[in-house]
Amino acid sequence: MSPDDMVDIFRRVLETDGVTADTDFFESGGDSLMGTRVLSAVARARGVELSFDDLLVAPTPALLADRVASVSR
Amino acid sequence: MSVPTSAATAAATSVVVVGAGLAGLTAAADLAGRGVDVQVLEARDRVGGRTHGIEVAPGDWADAGAAYLGERHTGLLALMERSGLKTVPTVMEGDSRFDVSGAARADSIPGRFPPLSGVALGELFDLLDEVTRSVRVEAPWLTPDAERLDAMTAAEWADDRLRHPDSRLFFPLFLGEMMAAAPADVSVLHMAFYLRSGGGLRYLNAFAGGAQEWRIDGGAHRLSEALSAGLGDRVRLSEPVTAVEQDDTGVTVRSAGGATRADAVIVATPPVLADRIDFSPALPAPRSGERTGPGCAVKVHLIHPSPLWRRQGLSGWSVSAEGPLLSTVDDSPADGGAGILTGFVTGDEARRFAALPLAEQRAAAVAQAGRLFPDLPEPVGFHVTDWVNDPYSRGCYAALFGPGDWLALGPHLTRPHGRVHWAGTETSTEFFGLMEGAVRSGHRAAAELAARR
């Protein structure tokens, strides 16, 4: 999953276009409820089940895309 | 319908308001400000309705009823400002406690996220968001697919749509917290409407940046008391209204103390209670049905000398899969003083808990608090507020509309019946069930009467 795909997911969940690969989810209005919707979107797109902790340690599209890549490998 | 037609054009120079909760008092204050002769008849011996303060320690008040507000609650904030009342932020620093996994001990976790599958909860919120967005919030009965959504309970919906055990476990807890309902109590249409009306899933659920951002300093009841003080002896307590009779020249409102005559009436009570008033001529249609239930909330307060859980790095926030305290939150006053741990007992658990004697309620609540917050001593004070069986509220946060209710009742909730107008949080499609909905309904009802002139 590319960082761009992840940026799209963040944009959809946060309902803002102001998301780049380095935007921190929790500093951009994201909370735990919205965070789960990033996880379900990733699971739908890639069949990868991330945990909420994954989002806490990798809160940007770039970092979370890395995480997906390492889990899928 | 034999309602006198002249009522539609007559000037309302005198108005009786039934119910001194936030809706009725807001309407009465608006009308009094326009020079209308207002009388407020309240059944209880206090004002405030579903807001109620308990003095848990000298000078420290706990909200036994409605408590929270956020920045979108503009009507409430404006009234507070006029009354000189301030907000205090809800605090949520430290770890949460979760007892949802069936483990012997509760889990301590930073933030508010429970130790459940994030993907499963995400799928639950995706589904809820989808149905919530589909609702026509200003007229839910006109929602596309309204008949199907109105016929199905939220329990049936969950049974059909939720596959993962974690989402099935979490859904009733979420619904209990959001709207004090068990999934079998409400139609899918009402669930979706409620979530949409309150600002959507995220706003309604959030503390910081959401509908639980603040409390009212000193207690939410202070707003009603301030409005009532402004009205003075125009507010009459212990006056349950039994009948409202219209004729060609006005309305006679019969209450415990006798009859009050006026040009028009605003009934600002929950619809189930309004339907018990004997209207003459009769209402063209009821405003509650057999499936309309009470909001199922019992609020428990455990009082400690200080917020002891904070010393252990705990926020006071907890979520449990088993009752009675399905969630707890730290509602301690901002300036130090007492430690107030509020426990929410909602949905089916509220009905069970409400039926227990006080000693058993206390034993169960204290034991659970001790499991959630290790080393928490016996509380120095303990309070239970049962809204489910309260004769003058019949539930809290708000009436629960069951299958069939929105299609049958929806159009009648706000439609005036001759000289009778309606207020109450259940008549507001904006922030239904919240204090903000009550305030907006009061302004709307007062404006309707002004428009009659």
A2 at the B interface (CB within 8 A)? no
Task: Return phi, psi of residue B254, to 5°.
Answer: -100, 125
Tally of domains in chain A:
1
Distance from CA of residue A71 to its chain's centroid? Answer: 14
**pLDDT for residue B452:** 75
**Statement: residue B374 has pLDDT above 90:** no
Helix B118-133 vs helix B165-179: crossing angle, to nearest 10: 50
Q: Are B187 and B154 in contact (CB under 8 A)?
A: yes
Residue B32 marked as a ligand binder: no
- The length of chain A in residues reads 73
DSSP line for B262-319: ESEEEE-S-HHHHTTSEEESPPSS-SS-TT-B---EEEEEEEESS-GGGGGTEEEEEE
B138 token code pair? 């200003």
Position B335 scores a pLDDT of: 81
Write the CB contacts of B223 (distance below 8 Å, at least 6 apart in sequence): B22, B51, B76, B79, B80, B83, B85, B216
With 70 as the cut, is the pLDDT of residue B273 above it? yes
Q: Looking at CA atoms only, how far is residue B209 from chain A in angstroms? A: 8
Separation of alpha carbons A32 and A48, rounded Å: 19
Find all residues with CB under 8 Å of A47, minimum gap 6, and list them.
none
Predicted TM-score (pTM) above 0.90: yes
Q: Report residues of chain A scoring pLDDT below 50.
A: none
**Cα maximum dimension of chain A:** 31
Mean pLDDT, to the nearest integer, of B333-347?
92
Once rounded to an integer, what is the mean pLDDT over residues B84-108?
A: 87
Our measurement of the distance from residue B144's CA atom to the centroid of its chain's CA atoms, rounded to an integer in Å, reads: 27
> Which of A36, A49, A55 has the CB atom closest to B121's CB atom?
A36
Q: Is residue B202 less than 8 Å (CB to CB) from chain A?
A: yes
> B53-68+88-93+210-216+296-386: what fold?
Polyamine Oxidase; Chain A, domain 2 (3.90.660)
Rg of chain B on CA atoms, in Å: 22
Residue B453 is predicted with a pLDDT of 52
Q: Which ipTM value was assigned to this complex?
A: 0.96
What CATH number is associated with residue A44?
A: 1.10.1200.10
Q: What is the pLDDT of residues B167-191, one digit of tens each?
A: 999 999 999 999 999 999 999 999 9
Range of the domain at A45: 3-72
Please judge whether A51 and B118 are an interchain contact, meaning their C-beta atoms are less than 8 angstroms apart: yes
B126: chain A residues, CB-CB within 8 Å: 37, 40
Q: Is B290 labelled a binding residue?
A: no
pLDDT tens-digit profile of B138-147? 999 999 999 9
Q: Degrees (nearest 5) of the Cα angle B136, B139, B143? A: 45
Q: Is the pLDDT of residue B7 over 50?
A: no
For residue range B284-306, what is the model confidence (pLDDT) as tens digits? Answer: 999 999 999 999 999 999 999 99
Superfamily per CATH, domain B5-49+221-287+413-452? FAD/NAD(P)-binding domain (3.50.50.60)
Report the share of chain B in percent with pLDDT over 70.
Answer: 97
Are B444 and B421 spatial neighbours (Cβ–Cβ below 8 Å)?
no
- B428-444 pLDDT, tens digit per residue, is 999 999 999 999 999 99
* E strands present in B357-422: 381-386, 420-422
Report which of B350, B292, B287 is spatially closest to residue B323, judged by C-alpha positions. Answer: B350
- Give the C-alpha separation, A13 to A15, whole Å: 5
* 8 A C-beta contact, residue B106 and residue B237: no
B122, A38: Cβ pair inside 8 Å?
A: yes
* Residue B22: strand, helix, or coil: helix
* Preceding omega of B172 cis (within 30 degrees of 0): no
Model confidence at B8: pLDDT above 70: no
CATH number of B114-205: 1.10.405.10
DSSP category for residue B100: -
Is residue B430 marked as binding? no
Query: What ranges do the domains of chain B cover?
Result: 5-49+221-287+413-452, 53-68+88-93+210-216+296-386, 114-205
Residue B50 is predicted with a pLDDT of 98
Please give the Cα distance from B324 to A31 (Å, whole number).
27
Which of B99-108, B254-263, B375-384 shows the lowest per-residue confidence on average (mean pLDDT)? B99-108
**Span B22-53, pLDDT tens digits:** 999 999 999 999 999 999 999 999 999 999 99
* pLDDT on residue B11: 55
Beta strand residue intervals within B72-146, DSSP E: 87-89, 95-99, 107-110
Estimate to the nearest angstrom the gap between the alpha carbon of B347 and the chain centroid.
13
Q: What ranges in B162-283 are assigned the alpha helix state H?
A: 165-179, 188-197, 201-205, 221-231, 271-274
pLDDT-derived band of residue B104, with 50, 70 and 90 as boundaries? low
